[in-house]
Amino acid sequence: MSIKFENASYVYGIGTHQKTAVLNNLNLELEYGKIYGMIGATGCGKTTAIQLINGLLKPTKGKIVIEQTVGEGLSIKKQRKAKKISVYEAVKGTGISVKLWRNLERGKTPIDKKTISVMLKKLNISKKDFNKNCFQKTLQIKRELISQHSGNDTTRQKFVNDFLIRPLDFFANFYRKTIGNFITGKKIKLIRTNIGLVFQFAEYQLFADTIAKDIAFGPKNYKVPKEEVEKRVKKYIKIVGLSEKLLDKSPFDLSGGQKRRVAIAGVLAMEPDVLIFDEPIAGLDPKGEQLMMELFKYLNKELGKTIIMITHNMDHVLEICDKVIIMEKGSFKEFITPKELFDSEEKVEKYGLLPPLLYKFARQVSKEIKGFKIQTAKTLNEFKEELKSFLIKNRKEESSGG
């Protein structure tokens, strides 16, 4: 699953004397399951770029492609569960009868040309595009499986029917191939359930008279069953580190950091695969900042969420990000690891960045201890371990040499 910028540009104020080009021919592919930091000077286009991903804005040129493989990276058991959940959500989003789909899944309704035609019509996709992007690939995989699977022809065909052509897997593949078109079509609603956007000072998004109502607002308006909404409210209030006892209280009685967590819980309740945060630590105290970073690590490692974070804090970029997107004057200039960025004093200076405190300290240490350089450390404790290992290794070499 990935998010692709393909020659995407955006211009504000088209048709007016205030016309301003903000983004220029962006090209980038973001894989799912990682944490990305987006950095750059104020006014370089970061917020506009993330609004393109979520569909709040549409590119004036080029496109954003959202590709999804349902259950990617999970165990077989979890993949099946993920597919089932994702497929039924997709069915609801497309207007196809869930009853028809369940009959397809149970084999009561065959996947024939007539059924496919009905589905394509509901999805507003041409038969030509379907044949080109999905059906031919399905047939190709079917042939490969038949040729590879041992046993007689009947066993092979049963294998194919059970594990490939069954409607659940069929639609998962179909969904993966077509979801990229939804962001510029009628199905933009589906994209927004899959990509959650948390604005800067997210606490200003709160409006309901109780915390429970605020968290429930999104899924309730997307027609999620009442029982499921209640489960999600209790689940995500805990995940963001708040007590269930607060659910009946007003969100406006909470501290700033707690309000922000409630706002994040409301986005999580939509159960998106991708979470985008616009300067999530703005206005928080150091403890609040660290708690927010711990939450992001949990969401990524334990729940498998992809996170895109706009930030000016290089310590946090170093600590949690897998890759860094550097923006300058409406363009993506670099797409590199934090280590590649901070190891290069030239890049840090070029983009006007303040290096992480850990790197500042490491450079001072390296002046006293020749040959020492950060390897993979992202925190002070990891740095201490690296320094300790380096000193032990040096002593051994000196002893053996002496």
pLDDT digits (tens, 9 = 90+) for 355-396: 999 998 888 888 888 888 888 888 888 888 888 888 888 887
Least confident interval from 41-45, 149-153, 191-195, 383-387: 149-153
Distance CA 145, CA 163 (A): 10
- The mean per-residue pLDDT over the stretch 324-343 comes to 95
Least confident interval from 133-142, 207-216, 362-371, 377-386: 133-142
Amino acid at 94: T
Strands (E), 207-259: none
pLDDT digits (tens, 9 = 90+) for 147-189: 444 444 554 444 444 433 443 344 444 444 433 333 333 345 5
Amino acid at 88: Y
> For the chain, what percent of residues have pLDDT higher than 90?
35
Helices 256-268 and 226-239 meet at what angle, rounded to 10?
Answer: 140
Distance CA 390, CA 395 (A): 9
Least confident interval from 20-29, 233-242, 362-371: 362-371
User: What is the residue-wise DSSP string for 144-199?
Assistant: HHHHHS-S-HHHHHHHHIIIIISHHHHHHHHHHHHHHHHTTSTTHHHHHHHEEEE-
Q: HSE, CB side, 13 Å, CA atoms: give it for residue 236.
A: 28
Cα 195 versus chain centre, distance = 7
Of residues 263 and 68, which shows the higher confidence score? 263
Q: What is the rounded end-to-end Cα distance, in angstroms, of the chain?
A: 56
Rg of the chain's alpha carbons, rounded to an integer? 25
Distance CA 208, CA 211 (A): 7
Distance CA 270, CA 100 (A): 25
Q: pLDDT value at position 97? A: 58
Least confident interval from 168-177, 213-222, 237-246, 366-375: 168-177
pLDDT classification of 211: cutoffs 50, 70, 90: very high
Helices 136-148 and 167-182 meet at what angle, rounded to 10?
Answer: 140
Name the pTM for this structure.
0.70
Mean pLDDT over each residue of the chain, to the nearest integer: 76
